[in-house]
Amino acid sequence: MFVKPKTWCAVTCICVLLLTAGCQNEKAGDDFSITLRLSHVFNVNEELAQSIELVAERINKKTNGAVRVLTYPGGQIATYKDGVEMVVRGAHFISVEDPSYIGDYVPEFTALVGPMLYNNFDEYMALIKTPLVEGWLAKLEDKGIKVLSLQYIFGFRNLITDKVVTTPEDLRGVKLRTPGSKLFIKTLNAMGATATPLPWGETFSALQQGVVDGLEGSEFTNLGTKVYETGKKNVAFTNHFLGTCGVYISTDVWAKIPDKYQQIIQHEFAYEAEQMIAMLKGKHAQVIKDLEAQGVAFNHIDRDAFEQRTLSLYDGELPGVTVEMYNQIQAELEKIRAGASE
């Protein structure tokens, strides 16, 4: 259902009031309690959604109900930019989104998940632990956003269409569904396609009705949501983005939570993210086989051609993103790769 911008703004404001008012009895003592609503767009059958459910269950259990995390998968309540805005406004809310959405507040996070950066999960995991990224996290807290995790990886994102794509020219005139992130839109356009931002809930009907010709996403999403059933059975291994989500909460709300509960919350999110990454590494080959059994075909691309097309995004094409940020990331990645090869 399409909601007019002004109407959606009003709905969002009402949600903020309701969520902020959701815990009037919180105290600093042993009778402290708080309810946090957590939202994301992933289907309940996808690994990330299942991991988040485990985190919520363990937080509820280990805090003896003092911290209740209620999960809303599949975009049931505010997601994407609206979800992050809920955090900034101080709602009792946890947003699970691509880091490009916090890039609206600190542009370095858009650069962090920019196109064609990483060869594997481990490079990204090492990068987010560097002093460079830690400095960016401090800047984000000044904007009112506390990052609980940056490492909910759900796989590299690839192009899913009904044609073989090997070069940017193959994407001429091809309409691809993307999330509403400026990073995603500009990247797909730079790669040669026509980016078409749509809510996830409208994607399948758009594919079936020919509104779009394909989409981009991970193999895990392809299998978990049965994208292949739309007839889009060609996957180009572009690896244009590393699919990852961060977990965000208001700094003001975070400050209300006693330290002993903060430690539990952070531990559970960090632990489950590591479990999920290990699982993805172990299952990816089988997921490919399962998709091939459904008639999905995979092909490699001219990566250099796509990299050249997307380099301009780091030079003024994305709001606030600079070549300097790109060079800083590349310098850190060179150190990480050198260390890995020793």
Residues 75-93 have a mean pLDDT of: 96
pLDDT score of 21 more than 70: no
- Give per-residue pLDDT as tens, 268-310: 999 999 999 999 999 999 999 999 999 999 999 999 999 999 9
> Which among 110, 121, 272 is positioned nearest to 182, based on CA atoms?
110
Residue 195 structure tokens: 């980016």
- pTM, 2 dp: 0.84
Element (H, E) at 146: strand 145-161
> What is the reported pLDDT for 8?
42
> What is the reported pLDDT for 268?
98
> What is the reported pLDDT for 228?
96
Q: How many domains does the chain have?
A: 1
> What is the reported pLDDT for 341?
75
CATH number assigned to the domain comprising residue 105:
3.40.190.170
> What is the reported pLDDT for 26?
44
> What is the reported pLDDT for 180?
85
CB-count exposure of residue 310 (10 Å: 0-12, 13-18, 19+):
buried
pLDDT score of 229 more than 60: yes
pLDDT score of 18 more than 70: no
Please answer whether residues 240 and 81 qualify as being in contact, where contact means their C-beta atoms are separated by less than 8 angstroms. no
Give the span between the Cα atoms of 337 and 226, in whole angstroms.
35
SS3 (DSSP) at 316: coil
> What is the reported pLDDT for 5?
40
Q: What is the mean pLDDT of the chain?
A: 91
Residue 244: domain span: 5-341
What percent of the chain clears pLDDT 70, i.e. is strictly above it? Answer: 91
Model confidence band, residue 19 (pLDDT cutoffs 50, 70, 90): low
> What is the reported pLDDT for 4?
37
